[in-house]
Amino acid sequence: MIFYFTGTGNSLDVARIIAHAVGDEMVDLGAAWKTDRFGLRFRVSQGENLGFVFPVFAWTTPSIVDDFVREVEFITDNGRPYVPGYCYCVMTCGAFAGGTADFFRKMLLRHHNIKLDASYSVQGVGSCVYLYNMPKPEAQKQTIRTMRRSAKQVAGAIAAKQMGSFEVRNPFGSLMSRFTGRQNKHNPIDKFHVDEQACIGCGTCQQVCPTDTVQLVGGMPVWEGDECCHCLACLHRCPAQATQYGKSTAKRRRYTNPVLAQGGAIGDVRDIVLPNV
């Protein structure tokens, strides 16, 4: 079973490539959390492989992934604690994964006594648009092509059940992970706002938000609560480019992996046909 979380589609794209290669079922972690965060129970078989695919946010795991790992229950036929045959994580990132895998490894062991056998990273188009502009469309397509080639290589390694850490790191990212890799992550929402003249009131931002942070009030989105994971799905996937974060995003390009065009509100896609880029 492969649990994936995606905001702009990269992790979904990579998870599908892996699922196709190894013949595993995919579960949209974000959709599961949005639907029933207090009923996260999944039936598994002893010795069944367990995979996680998620993006790196600020050199660590998304807070929704932390919450999911804390709350999820694995139900086995014999009633004993679940022991996967092979457990791995694949992190999508714009540059470096830092020490994200180390944090995830400790969290999985702490909450489920499950050992992480391997960790991988795949570089794709970054999404932190309030820090930098997105590449031009043709450059995005080239990065997606490279990302998919890397994902196929990772899928081969997973099929062979390679053991070890294979993610791309650098000293700065590993250092930053020491500060950002913590259990309680605070992701401020005060800078989210909407251009009321551009907003068409379609509700896409509310639909794609995995934490129900976005609500429509009088037909306009508002951001409430303390569960936002900064996936920026509400910003990148707004069809009118009306959602903004701070003052810098209004004139910057957006990014959505084309694989999401075949998906639902959060990104649950069950076929394995990848769109051409």
Q: Is residue 181 predicted with pLDDT exceeding 80? A: no
Render pLDDT for 50-70 as a digit per residue (tens, 0 to 9). Answer: 999 999 999 899 999 999 999
Residues 171-180 have a mean pLDDT of: 71
Could you give the CA distance from residue 96 to residue 78 in angstroms, rounded to a whole number? 40
Q: Which of 203, 239, 245, 237 is nearest to 220 (CA)?
A: 203
Q: Is residue 277 predicted with pLDDT exceeding 60? A: no
Mean pLDDT (the chain, rounded) = 91
Domains of the chain: 2-184 (3.40.50)
Return the pLDDT at 112.
97
Could you give the CA distance from residue 50 to residue 136 in angstroms, rounded to a whole number? 36
Tell me which residue has tokens 């995606």: 6
Residues 88-110 have a mean pLDDT of: 94
- Report the share of the chain in percent with pLDDT over 90: 83
DSSP secondary structure string for all residues of 16-69: HHHHHHHT--EEEHHHHHHHHTT--EEEE-TT--EEEEEE-BTTB--HHHHHHH
Q: 40 near 78, Cβ under 8 Å?
A: no
Q: What single letter denotes the amino acid at residue 124?
A: G
β-bridge partners, 74? 42
